[in-house]
Amino acid sequence: MDTLIQQVLSGNVTVGDLRRVNRVYAQKQRWVAQYTGEYTNGRRTLEQYLEAFMYITPEPIYYRLPSA
């Protein structure tokens, strides 16, 4: 399965693909905002805050260097 970037570069990306990525990204943004608020309001320690971010990491982006 191609990454989204590969699909865009090859012209094989669909609106559904972009919507799915946007939906996942928006969810992760909400989690970051929630955890940041909990940390700044004292409901979460720095250790808990950083631990929560370990699970919000993005999917890896694979790419191919152009051949010379």
What is the domain partition of the chain in residue ranges? 14-53
Find, among 4, 39, 7, 44, the residue nearest to 25 by Cα: 4
**Tens-level pLDDT at each residue, the chain (68 residues):** 567 777 778 887 778 878 887 888 888 889 889 989 999 999 989 998 888 877 776 665 444 444 54
pLDDT reported for residue 62: 45
Query: How many CA within 13 A on the CB side of residue 19?
Result: 3
pLDDT reported for residue 60: 55
pLDDT reported for residue 57: 66
Amino acid at residue number 56: I
pLDDT reported for residue 58: 63
